Chain A
Amino acid sequence: MSIGHTLLGLLESGPRHGYDLKRAFDERFGHDRPLHYGQVYSTMSRLLKNGLVVVDGIEPGGGPERKRYAITDAGITDVAQWLATPEKPEPYLQSTLYTKVVLALLTERGAAEVLDTQRSEHLRLMRELTRRKQGGDLADQLICDHALFHLEADLRWLELTAARLDALAAEVRR
């Protein structure tokens, strides 16, 4: 996720302090990984340098947390471009798992166990997300559903690979 673009988007509704930005980010998007203050201030410094935000005011007391930031026209354009650009689909997990399965077969370890262990872990996380979804509001449900569908896709790959292990073993050991 692009933290810079997300913080910029949050600024579109009006100027905010760094602390408010962090809180808004964590409430909406930070379920798994809340932002560190350091990330907020380093990101805001970069956005400031690039002319995407300006300092709208500084409250008495000093320190970076007292700065109030406002988005610039260039910042608004940047958010619009980011939203209009599709994300690169990244089949990263399958690549790692594929490597593990092939290595297990090459070293005559249990490739089925690699897949089973991964399936259990995926399901454990899916249970956690399902519980969170049941206790959450619509925003929670949508975020959890997104993760659940991705995990489900991985699981389908795990099942299919499990069904093809003998063929794969014959191929890699040839």
Chain B
Amino acid sequence: MTTVPLLKAVGLTKAYGPTPALSDADFAIRAGEVVAVMGPSGSGKSTLLHCIAGIVRPDSGTLTYDGRDLTALSDTARSALRRTDFGFVFQFGQLVPELTCVENVALPLRLNGEKRKAAEARALEWLARLEVDPVAAKRPGEISGGQGQRVAVARALVTAPRVIFADEPTGALDSLNGERVMQLFTEASRDTGAAVVLVTHEARVAAYSDREVVVRDGSVRDTEWAA
């Protein structure tokens, strides 16, 4: 594994009004690495994820991705980068209810200009990989929570992102379904060489990672890169 981080944040701070959410947070992840971001509720885990994914602009600090300064990019350029290089999985899947599962997974490819037939063919491959191809033609409201999360993982992976940001990806699932989602998710991401930032408060989910960082009161202990 390379020692050079793919994504690196130094001294990030972010406040919402008078409330500090992040203070002087450092974080780094290598290509192909799965890092769990742990900490109690309200500690700043999600704010850290939103900042390093370029969704929220930090008040101060530097953020570099593959040698580029992300804080210096325009909103449009950051949005484009999120579409091409980043994938996202959230707690409740956030699938588009009007689209079928295969259309949901194909959506990021279609937004990147790919033709429908080719996009859906690739989407089907990923649905099969996540063992949910039988529900390809169903809409999100017609499938279980566990199936929905697998569809969401397929959608995050279909564009072959270099970094996947997952915020409590199994938070709404029971143990058995959560474990299966994590197993398939981490296997697929390791096979593609993607880095995974995994926000979770569950230790059994964090156990699928290579290492963990802990967020407490907005500050981050990342012992790996502390030196």
Contacts from A to B (Cβ < 8 Å): 116, 119-120, 122-123, 126-127, 129-130, 134, 148-149, 151-152, 155-156, 159, 162-163
Q: Which stretch from B72-80, B82-90, B201-209 is at the chain A interface?
A: B201-209
Tell me the bound Cα distance from A123 to B198 in angstroms: 15
Tell me the bound Cα distance from A78 to B49 in angstroms: 56
Assuming the A-B contacts A116-B221, A134-B183, A159-B40, are A148 and B204 also in contact, with contact meaning beta carbons closer than 8 angstroms in the complex? Answer: yes
Chain B positions within 8 Å of A149 at CB level: 204
Contact between A148 and B40 (Cβ–Cβ < 8 Å)? no
Tell me the bound Cα distance from A143 to B97 in angstroms: 39
Contact between B203 and A123 (Cβ–Cβ < 8 Å)? yes
Tell me the bound Cα distance from A129 to B204 in angstroms: 10
Query: Which of these, A123, A129, A159, contacts B212 with CB under 8 Å?
Result: A123
B43 to chain A, nearest CB (A): 10
| B interface, size bucket | 10 to 19
Query: Which of these, B40, B206, B216, contacts A123 with CB under 8 Å?
Result: B206
Complex: chain B residue closest to A134, CB-CB? B183
Contact between A129 and B207 (Cβ–Cβ < 8 Å)? yes
Contacts from B to A (Cβ < 8 Å): 40, 183, 202-204, 206-210, 212, 214, 216, 221
Contact between A123 and B214 (Cβ–Cβ < 8 Å)? no
- Residues of B contacting A: mostly: mixed
Complex: chain A residue closest to B216, CB-CB? A162
Q: List 29 A-B contacts (CB under 8 A).
A: A116-B214, A119-B214, A120-B212, A122-B203, A123-B203, A123-B206, A126-B203, A126-B204, A126-B206, A126-B207, A127-B207, A127-B208, A127-B209, A127-B210, A130-B204, A130-B207, A130-B208, A134-B183, A148-B204, A148-B207, A149-B204, A151-B203, A152-B202, A152-B203, A152-B204, A155-B203, A156-B203, A159-B40, A163-B40
Tell me the bound Cα distance from A130 to B208 in angstroms: 7
Complex: chain B residue closest to A151, CB-CB? B203
Chain A positions within 8 Å of B212 at CB level: 120, 123
Contact between B221 and A123 (Cβ–Cβ < 8 Å)? no
Chain B positions within 8 Å of A122 at CB level: 203
B16 to chain A, nearest CB (A): 22
Complex: chain A residue closest to B176, CB-CB? A145
Chain B positions within 8 Å of A156 at CB level: 203
Tell me the bound Cα distance from A152 to B214 in angstroms: 16
Tell me the bound Cα distance from A126 to B207 in angstroms: 6
Complex: chain B residue closest to A153, CB-CB? B203
Tell me the bound Cα distance from A103 to B189 in angstroms: 43
Chain B positions within 8 Å of A120 at CB level: 212
Given A126-B204, A127-B208, 18 additional A-B pairs, CB 8 A: A116-B214, A116-B221, A119-B214, A120-B212, A122-B203, A123-B207, A126-B206, A126-B207, A130-B204, A130-B208, A148-B207, A149-B204, A151-B203, A152-B203, A152-B204, A155-B203, A159-B40, A162-B216
Specify which of B183, B203, B214, B221 lies most central, judged by the most chain A CB atoms within 10 Å of its CB. B203
Chain B positions within 8 Å of A127 at CB level: 207-210
Chain B positions within 8 Å of A129 at CB level: 207
